[in-house]
Amino acid sequence: MTSDRTEEHRQLRAVARVFTQREVAPHIEAWERAGELPRSLHQRAADAGILGVGYPEDAGGAGGDFLDLMVVLEEILTAGGSSGLCASLFTHLISIPHILASGHREHIERWVRPTLQGRLIGSLAITEPETGSDVAGIRTRARRDGECFVVDGAKTFITSGVRADFVTTAVRTGGPGHGGLSLLVIEKGTPGFSVSRKLEKMGWACSDTAELSFVGARVPASHLVGKEGSGFEQIVQQFVSERLMLAVHAYGTATRSLELALSWARTREAFGQPLSANQVIRHKLAEMARQADVAREYTWAVARRFVAGENVAQQAAMAKNTAVYACDFVVNEAVQIHGGMGYMRESEVERLYRDARILGIGGGTNEIMNEIIAKNLGL
């Protein structure tokens, strides 16, 4: 099941699959119960050569491009990993791109390189208790005081926020609206900065999620990422890659759910014959396969255009919704085919069903994606 035919991608798939089967699948249920991944997993992923895929070697990465990164994520998802695991293990995909793009060498050496080497964990803090999709409405304030910014405010739903060594934080350094936003790296241990609450979620249980508090936190002005007032532009520039990655999460989860449902239908007997002997089950599986495959092929087509430098903001929104809707359908049918076992916590499809629900919310809701599409249609 590959759209990419290069030998490099085949080798990368093999590495990612072996890593998942050895280092992830045997332990993922324990991590689900613990509510977080062990820090050592980041180091092992770096040692395996997959953590830094898609990032330049001179910044500590493993080289390759966005398509190589898609290969790694897809293989982890279909080999027994999970969307929650990918979100937490690869949180650097949203926490360091702005830092890397700024080109600030000291910042790259301080935060990017050690993160890609598995020695640090970073997170991205944008969402606030009063502000979700409306990024321009951010209220967390950073007031300049000499050589520091004094930060006051709160963030919520922050992936890897409990374990993070640093947080790339959207703050308001200027007036109202998007022009007053900046990005500031705030390190763990900064006085006035704390994890106020570890959040419990429906899914992504192995991915720690935090509520963060800033009360007079003094952050060196040198931790500013890019120019002051450029925060909104920096955030928006990463939307396409984030949405395509979530599309991979969605069709990857759908593909894994389909594989589990196929195996169950072939081996589970009812009324003296396998479930797959029933036409209604075969047709369910056929439709599940169609939707998962269409989502994958469309996402890859858009990703290739993205890597080629095209403006694919509209198509990325379409890819995310296409994959999310396919995933919603497939995980629901997979649980149905498993029957009562699909409702049990010991069943992998039960976890995949719960994990899938966030994909139509995070990175821009289904409704926001449709609004982007509508605007590009001139509506």
Tens digits of per-residue pLDDT, 86-131?
999 999 999 999 999 999 999 999 999 999 999 999 999 999 998 8
Task: Dig out the tokens for 258 from the structure.
Answer: 């389909």
Does residue 277 contact residue 107 with C-beta atoms inside 8 Å?
A: no
pLDDT of res. 1:
41
Residues 6+ apart with CB under 8 A from 10: 2
Q: What are the residues facing 67 on neighbouring strands? A: none
Residues of the chain with CATH 1.10.540.10: 7-116
Residues of the chain with CATH 2.40.110.10: 122-228
CA distances from 349 to 37, 129, 186, 295, 343 (A): 20, 31, 38, 19, 8
95 — phi, psi (to 5°)? -95, -25
Does residue 204 contact residue 210 with C-beta atoms inside 8 Å?
A: no
Using DSSP's 3-state secondary structure scheme, residue 235 falls into helix
Count of CB atoms situated within 10 Å of the CB of 59 = 17
Residues of the chain with pLDDT under 70: 1-5
Please choose, from the candidates 158, 156, 155, 169, the residue with its C-alpha nearest in 3D space to the C-alpha of residue 208: 158
Query: What are the residue ranges of helices labelled H in 36-163?
Result: 39-47, 66-78, 83-89, 92-95, 97-102, 105-107, 113-116
From the options 3.40.50.2300, 3.40.50.620, 2.40.110.10, 3.40.50.720, give the CATH code of 122-228: 2.40.110.10
Output DSSP code: residue 147: T
Does residue 112 contact residue 98 with C-beta atoms inside 8 Å?
A: no
Burial class, 377, CB count within 10 angstroms (exposed 0-12 / middle 13-18 / buried 19+):
exposed
Please choose, from the candidates 141, 151, 228, the residue with its C-alpha nearest in 3D space to the C-alpha of residue 186: 151
CA dist., res. 232 & res. 245, Å (int):
20
Burial class, 131, CB count within 10 angstroms (exposed 0-12 / middle 13-18 / buried 19+):
middle
What Rg do the C-alpha atoms of the chain give, in angstroms? 21
CATH topology of domain 238-376: Butyryl-CoA Dehydrogenase, subunit A; domain 3 (1.20.140)
Count of CB atoms situated within 10 Å of the CB of 340 = 7
Q: How far is CA 26 from the centre of its chain?
A: 22
Please choose, from the candidates 254, 323, 222, 256, the residue with its C-alpha nearest in 3D space to the C-alpha of residue 79: 256
Does residue 166 contact residue 215 with C-beta atoms inside 8 Å?
A: no
Please choose, from the candidates 345, 203, 349, the residue with its C-alpha nearest in 3D space to the C-alpha of residue 268: 349
Amino acid type, 58: D
Residues of the chain with CATH 1.20.140.10: 238-376
Active site positions, annotated: 242
Count of CB atoms situated within 10 Å of the CB of 235 = 22
Write the CATH number of the domain with boundaries 7-116.
1.10.540.10
